[in-house]
Structure 1
Amino acid sequence: MEKVLEHVVEQVILHPRTPLAEPAFEAGGFADHNTPLIRNCWYVAALSSEVSRELTSRRLLGVDVALYRTLAGEPVAVRNRCPHRSFPLAKGRLEGDTLICGYHGMQFDPSGRCVNMPSMPNVPTNAQVRSFDVVERAPLIWIWMGDPDQADEALIPDTHWLNDPGWKSVSGQFHLKSDYVSMHENLLDQTHFPFLHPGAIGTPEYARSKLKIRRDGEVVIIDRLLKNSPPPGVYAVPTGLTGKPVDRYSEARFQSPALHTAFAKIVDPTPPPGAIAEYRFNITHIFTPETNGSIHYWWFNSRNFDLENKSSDEYLHAASAKAYLEDVDALEWILDVVQKDTEQQFDLNFAPDKPGLLMRRALYDRAAAEAGYAL
């Protein structure tokens, strides 16, 4: 596949952007907004703080899911649709660990099994609501929406720094009208940083710096090194290195359909007495498709220094939220054009787009495999 992609980026490939259509898988394809959502994957259903004893609901991969906690505090996810008359179960109530439908009073345990049908002396054996495997790794609650026999907890991506006392995170979330393929592509496309996020994240020198692309299975990794150059604001202000030439090491990863991570190391070659020489930032982007054209998006900006500095917290939150809102706006504008413009467009791809093409190929192949296509 590497040789194939090397060839297509050298030749400048054309990729059609058309309104939503029935997908037809073929060898050598790339995922886009039409590609069926990948289900055999761990996605984030909610933050730990969003799930409580109060019933809530969220649409994930096109399925309405009801979320709550048992009396013991364990998170539960079941389909938000009673099997009797499709009443939304999140509009019912909890009694102990029993979820009671608000329409006819059918009662379900956390596994989704009906344990009582008030209007009948015996519980119907086929009365069951679908339950989903969920795993809490604070501050995240992960959910498996695919084949339950493939729900291996070992496949949950590592985000340990989000719950590590040696790191401090600021965070936020968006609901946006875009597709998760474009979101991954946006995060792997670092050449847009100086133009969409001038001053805050990208610099012209960083966009021109040489990148190295590598793969680990389906994981796509970008390495960059920019030496002797002032850092952008998002790193400069918290470190106190505004305007000072530093060495900047960065790694961006397409980890899974649900996760993109970016790791940055800022090295001050001439730190003043008593100051540290190395600063680390971990950026975590988490998104779960609501549909092919909408996403639940959570972001975290984490650092391993000066953890009690509230001013740094406030600056990092404001700068990050501004930059990611710029991404949200851009992606919503793009999908709006793609869906409403009826004239076919062939998007150009160039050499710097290779990481995104590798990601899109990986998503396409996974979606095709789930649909039963042997490419």
Structure 2
Amino acid sequence: MISTTAPQRQHADHTTPLIRNAWYIAGLSSETGRDLLPRTLLETRVVLFRKRDGSISALHDRCPHRSFPLSKSRLEDDTIVCGYHGITYDGSGRCLHVPSAPSAGANIKIRHFPVIETAPLVWIWMGDAEKADPALIPDFSFLSDPNWKTVSGSFSMRSNYVAMHENLLDQTHFTFLHAGSVGTPEWATSPLEVSQNGDSVSLRRELKNSLPPGIYGTPMKLEGRMVDRLSEASFFGPAGHLALAKITVSEPVANEREEFRVNILHVFTPETQNTLHYWWFNSRDFGLDDEAASKFLYEASHAAYVEDVDALGWISEIVTTESDDYREFSFRSDRPGLMMRQVLSRLAAQEQVQPTAVAAE
């Protein structure tokens, strides 16, 4: 089935306002320390730092006096001293001292953003602080589970996050864009199941008795063997996707491992309307001490994601520079992405109808 879509009317696209009332990734635990860390998130400059007690503070990276970036300032104990005029702020953004006007400052406060750390991830809420429910943060405890071995990486990329979400829900491109890694000739036509639970959209693909893709055949030591391949992937919200790849040996021999699992986590945060911070994590339940497998999986994963980054960058250049008198064609295989785009469109519209406070004051 072929359909045409007017993206701006029915589905989110590169012009849809960014959704603020959601948990996004501000960075990694490993990069958030006693040095002031600047990062632009949802078109807002933020500075992060770790306090003496180990907790993390996130403030608007802009002194309200004369707009000097606090990330270019100095961290003293758990306070930031502005590098321009020496005005001091605590981790909640409250002004503690104005050298040139000691009696002033009591009513000055910088925007402070809710932050929760679930190592290795640092989550931030850029919208209405009263809606920042920690229970909304997904459970990715496998990232620190000793029964899983993880390789990971990151990119700064040119793309709107809607296109990135749709890319991850569209596994038919594996066969063509990622032919040397996760793609096999049969995968684009594998049976597709799609479901929706609230704001979450999930897909399931399964292919029986086929050769494994290169990214898995080598580290699993299954080159040339016939396997059953299962992929389950979910859009869990504006911040990203979680997928499971399960490979099962079709005709196992005695005493050999039959099943192999890989969790694939993609999390990304809009820097601007058309640029992203992107982190990926591939966690496996086999060969935990196999350094060669880790090296191979990192290199193969990185190469595949570079292909995505390049492709989405090229697409972004076109959609942001050409005129908007364009209608896109969609097929049955695009259902997961179109459902996700409806979710994002609805969430964005709700925020536009009911504007939210940007952060805690």
The reply on whether 1:199 has 2:190 as its aligned counterpart is no
Q: Do the aligned partners of 1:175 and 1:296 also contact (CA within 8 Å) in 2?
A: yes
Q: Do the aligned partners of 1:51 and 1:67 also contact (CA within 8 Å) in 2?
A: yes
**Paired residue for 1:372, among 350, 353, 356?**
353
**Bigger shift: 129-138 or 114-123?**
114-123
**Paired residue for 1:183, among 140, 164, 185?**
164
Number of residue pairs matched by the alignment: 355
Q: Which residue of 1 aligns with 2:73?
A: 92
Structure 1 residue 373: deviation in Å? Answer: 7.0
Residue identity matched to 1:13: T
Aligned to 2:113, what secondary structure does the other structure show? Answer: strand
Q: Do the aligned partners of 1:15 and 1:349 also contact (CA within 8 Å) in 2?
A: no
Q: Which residue of 2 aligns with 1:340?
A: 321
Q: Deviations over 1:131-150 (max 9, x none)?
A: 11100000000000000000
Q: Which residue of 2 aligns with 1:108?
A: 89
Q: Which residue of 2 aligns with 1:264?
A: 245
Structure 1 residue 343: deviation in Å? Answer: 6.4
Q: Which runs of 5+ in 2 are unaligned?
A: 356-361
Q: Which residue of 1 aligns with 2:287?
A: 306
State how far apart, in whole Å, the 1-side matches of 2:223 and 2:180 are. 11
**Paired residue for 2:4, among 13, 18, 23?**
13
The reply on whether 1:153 has 2:134 as its aligned counterpart is yes
- RMSD over equivalenced CA pairs, Å: 1.4
Q: Which residue of 2 aligns with 1:162?
A: 143
State how far apart, in whole Å, the 2-side matches of 1:175 and 1:230 are. 33
State how far apart, in whole Å, the 2-side matches of 1:126 and 1:83 are. 11
Q: Which residue of 2 aligns with 1:6?
A: none
**Counterparts in 2 of 1:113-262, with a 5 A limit?**
113-262=94-243
State how far apart, in whole Å, the 2-side matches of 1:261 and 1:135 are. 19
TM-score, with structure 1 as normaliser: 0.92
State how far apart, in whole Å, the 2-side matches of 1:96 and 1:373 are. 39
State how far apart, in whole Å, the 1-side matches of 2:216 and 2:85 are. 56
The reply on whether 1:354 has 2:335 as its aligned counterpart is yes
Structure 1 residue 345: deviation in Å? Answer: 2.2
**Paired residue for 1:292, among 273, 285, 299?**
273
The percentage of counterpart residues that share the same residue type is: 52
Deviating above 6 A after TM superposition, structure 1's stretches of 4 or more consecutive aligned residues are none
The reply on whether 1:277 has 2:268 as its aligned counterpart is no
Q: Do the aligned partners of 1:15 and 1:348 also contact (CA within 8 Å) in 2?
A: no
Structure 1 residue 269: deviation in Å? Answer: 3.2
Q: Deviations over 1:187-208 (max 9, x none)?
A: 1111111110103101121111
Q: Do the aligned partners of 1:282 and 1:303 also contact (CA within 8 Å) in 2?
A: yes
Q: Deviations over 1:275-304 (max 9, x none)?
A: 211100000101000011000000011101
Q: Do the aligned partners of 2:48 and 2:57 also contact (CA within 8 Å) in 1?
A: yes
Q: Deviations over 1:90-146 (max 9, x none)?
A: 111111111111011111111110111111121323211111110000000000000
State how far apart, in whole Å, the 2-side matches of 1:146 and 1:272 are. 55
Q: Do the aligned partners of 1:115 and 1:123 also contact (CA within 8 Å) in 2?
A: no
Q: Deviations over 1:129-187 (max 9, x none)?
A: 11111000000000000000000000011211111111011011000011000000001
TM-score, with structure 2 as normaliser: 0.96
Q: Which residue of 1 aligns with 2:19?
A: 38
Q: Do the aligned partners of 2:190 and 2:206 also contact (CA within 8 Å) in 1?
A: yes
Structure 1 residue 250: deviation in Å? Answer: 1.2
Aligned to 1:146, what secondary structure does the other structure show? Answer: coil
Q: Which runs of 5+ in 1 are unaligned?
A: 1-9, 17-22
Q: Which residue of 2 aligns with 1:60?
A: 41
